Amino acid sequence: MVRPAKPHRHPIRRVLQPVIQSERKALGASALLGTAAVAFELARPWPLALAVDYAIARRPLAGLGPQSLLLFAGAAVVLFTLIAESGELGSTLLAERAAERVGARLRQDVYDRATTLSLRWHDRMRSGELVSRLTTDVGRLLDALVAVTAQLLPDVVRLLLVLILLTVVSPGLALLALAVVPLLAVFAVRQRRRVRIAQQRARAEAGLLAASATDLFRNVRAVQAFSANARPAQVFHQRNAALLDVNVRAVTTEARWSPVANVVLAIGTGLVLVVGGREVLDGRLSTGDLLVVTAYLSALYSPVRGLSRLSGLLAKSNASAARIQDVLACTEEIAEDEDARPAPPLVSGLWFADVRFGYQLSRPVLDGFDLTVAAGQTCCVLGPSGAGKSTVLHLLLRLYDVDAGGIMLDGVDLRSIRKQSLRQAVAFVPQDPWLFDTTIAQNIALGAAGADRAQVLAAGRAALVDEFAHQLPGGYDSLVGEAAAQLSGGQRRRIALARAVVSKAPLMLLDEPTASLDPASAAAVITAIERCAAGRTVLMVTHDPLLAAIADQVVTLDPHRPAGVNLTTLPGAASTIGRR
Ligand code: ATP
């Protein structure tokens, strides 16, 4: 079922809302602590005014002489700074730690969602792109969360307090200082839009580079083996150059902002200095008050600068949040009925009834496909390459759903069976053995939840894993490497077969289990298959006539044969198979 994710107007809020519930207290405390620190930060210019206007001017205050006033002013500066910095440290730590926990939850959610999405979705989404969303995009979103928590409220409060204090000290100078703010606001709004667009392009390009790098690293053997053909290097080079281009544009767009803002703000400071200096000369303002006003000017401009930086950061994170939301909101999965039932015991058999399926709807691989396999029988599917043999097995596992018709186990449609129960009822040996980067034993144990060491070793023995496992230094505990790169094709296949052997599932699906084995090993594997096929229903795909010979029923999937035509290649076989 294809239901594309709806784009959302506020992706950051949409993505973060469900994962920050339990962090609300920590985030709130961080914002409050940061705001409290602002009060002490803003008190810092006053000891300076006290020193200039009273101590240095030798005017006693509250019975204290110049020396005492200087000592008092010095101590106050240190104390205010100590409290303000402690508050800021506490605020940052609370926000950063909460953001890390939110990030871990978000990564888990993206992983959980992505792994349940249909294989049609995964066929389109490249794994490198997905990893880039899981790591870089989540990281960017966390930057925004920390900034909004530890910066937004303190900056707004700082701005308001400074405005009030400036107005109290000198309303005229306050107005003058504010004159440049509208100009800055106009620049900020335009800048935000440009940064957002530049960042969207940069993130999309980074995703493409990650996808292409993952593909190239996964196939590094092909890259080296075909080094005469510079195509892979060209692909990477082009993607890298494209990313460089959009990144340079994005950083240029961002970098332009800071000097523009600083110059506009310097104009305000210059105006205040000229007009305020005149007032001091005319005796209408004290030197201390002018110092306080200029100190507050930078305190006024710092939140203005901070808020505009925050708006750039939000624009960046918006692009990342939208990419995460794409995955989280996607509903393209193999659906499960609410009243889905456990898999039946497979006592009567399985059948495909008038099945139509294509990876793309416009290009059916199977059309009008019928097949019946009685329980306890072994059925072998033959056919030319690309005819759809592996597809038949994938449909039985519900890795994909049929487009029309139905597949039944004991008369129950697969779509009415709980997915997990169905997959536990099937032991599958895929054509590409799908091994994880872990030990041989753990790879075999994947075949049956709760399989103990003795069962794993017995399955290994039956599938001829013993032959090579005992020659490795770690035996069954040897790591197989990424994509089992440290094993040969035949060895990988034997581990995949051992997985099916350890499973007690009533239905066994084997996709070319003897491919890449030497004749002696193939014969031994066939014996192992015969042994573990006893009492189970088996559907296998093979080009190996020796393996086909153990089947009770052999059918050929012929892409040129009209649907509904029976084809049996072994006497006594009772199957129906066809393909339009
Ligand atoms: P072989 O004997 O070579 O393994 P097969 O009979 O098992 O071939 P399938 O793997 O079932 O063939 O593929 C049937 C058709 O579906 C092929 O034309 C193939 O290109 C196409 N196909 C397979 N997997 C996908 C996929 N994930 N996305 C799109 N098309 C696919």
pLDDT means per 10 residues, the chain with 580 residues, are 51 86 90 88 80 73 76 86 90 90 92 88 86 90 88 84 82 81 78 80 86 79 63 80 89 78 81 86 83 78 74 82 90 83 91 91 87 93 89 92 92 91 89 84 86 90 88 88 75 88 90 83 82 88 89 83 43 37
Please give the Cα distance from 69 to 489 (Å, whole number).
85
Q: Could you tell me if the CB of 306 is within 6 A of ligand 1? A: no
Q: Could you tell me if the CB of 385 is within 6 A of ligand 1? A: yes
CB 518 within 8 A of CB 357: no
State the Cα angle at 416 between 412 and 420, rounded to 5°: 110
Q: Could you tell me if the CB of 359 is within 6 A of ligand 1? A: yes
Nearest protein Cα to ligand 1, atom 3: 385
Please give the Cα distance from 388 to 558 (Å, whole number).
9
User: Could you identify the atom of ligand 1 that is nearest to the CA of residue 388?
Assistant: 11
- Tell how far the Cα of 3 is from the centroid of ligand 1, in angstroms: 24
Strand residue runs (E) in 251-357: 349-357
Please give the Cα distance from 315 to 192 (Å, whole number).
6
- Tell how far the Cα of 120 is from the centroid of ligand 1, in angstroms: 13
Nearest protein Cα to ligand 1, atom 30: 359
- Tell how far the Cα of 389 is from the centroid of ligand 1, in angstroms: 8
β pairing state of 378-382 and 537-541: parallel
Q: Which of 103, 116, 100, 142 is nearest to 327 (CA)?
A: 116
pLDDT at 569: 42
Q: Could you tell me if the CB of 120 is within 6 A of ligand 1? A: no
- Tell how far the Cα of 387 is from the centroid of ligand 1, in angstroms: 7
Q: Which of 454, 506, 504 is nearest to 347 (CA)?
A: 506
Q: Which of 351, 423, 427 is nearest to 392 (CA)?
A: 351
Q: Could you tell me if the CB of 388 is within 6 A of ligand 1? A: yes
Phi-psi map region of 354: left, alpha, beta (phi>0 left; psi -120 to 50 alpha): left
Q: Which amino acid is at 513?
A: P
Written as six digits, the tokens of 490 are 């035949």
What is the DSSP-derived secondary structure letter of residue 447? T
Please give the Cα distance from 557 to 231 (Å, whole number).
36
pLDDT at 373: 93
Q: Could you tell me if the CB of 294 is within 6 A of ligand 1? A: no
User: Could you identify the atom of ligand 1 that is nearest to the CA of residue 557?
Assistant: 6
Please give the Cα distance from 376 to 569 (Å, whole number).
20
Distances (CA, A) of 60 to 39, 57, 66, 437, 440: 27, 9, 7, 78, 85
pLDDT at 222: 66
- Tell how far the Cα of 496 is from the centroid of ligand 1, in angstroms: 20
pLDDT at 540: 93
State the Cα angle at 77 between 75 and 81, rounded to 5°: 120
Nearest protein Cα to ligand 1, atom 26: 359
Nearest protein Cα to ligand 1, atom 20: 386
Q: Could you tell me if the CB of 365 is within 6 A of ligand 1? A: yes
Q: Could you tell me if the CB of 387 is within 6 A of ligand 1? A: yes
Please give the Cα distance from 81 to 87 (Å, whole number).
10
pLDDT at 218: 75
Written as six digits, the tokens of 486 are 């440290």
Taking each helix axis from N to C end, the angle separating 138-147 and 287-328, rounded to the nearest 10 degrees, works out to 150
Q: Could you tell me if the CB of 381 is within 6 A of ligand 1? A: no
Written as six digits, the tokens of 57 are 């001017």
Please give the Cα distance from 125 to 283 (Å, whole number).
72
Strand partners, 538: 378, 508
Nearest protein Cα to ligand 1, atom 10: 390
- Tell how far the Cα of 383 is from the centroid of ligand 1, in angstroms: 12
- Choosing from 359, 402, 580 the residue with most ligand 1 atoms within 8 A of its CB, the one to mutate for a pocket test is 359
Strand partners, 439: 479
- Tell how far the Cα of 492 is from the centroid of ligand 1, in angstroms: 21
Please give the Cα distance from 315 to 191 (Å, whole number).
10
Q: Which of 159, 178, 180 is nearest to 170 (CA)?
A: 178
pLDDT at 29: 93
Q: Could you tell me if the CB of 393 is within 6 A of ligand 1? A: no
- Choosing from 391, 402, 511, 540 the residue with most ligand 1 atoms within 8 A of its CB, the one to mutate for a pocket test is 391
> What is the gyration radius of the CA atoms in the chain, in angstroms?
35
- Tell how far the Cα of 430 is from the centroid of ligand 1, in angstroms: 13
Strand partners, 510: 429, 540
Please give the Cα distance from 33 to 214 (Å, whole number).
43
Helix (H, G, I), strand (E, B) or coil at 500: helix
Q: Could you tell me if the CB of 362 is within 6 A of ligand 1? A: no
State the Cα angle at 426 between 424 and 431, rounded to 5°: 125
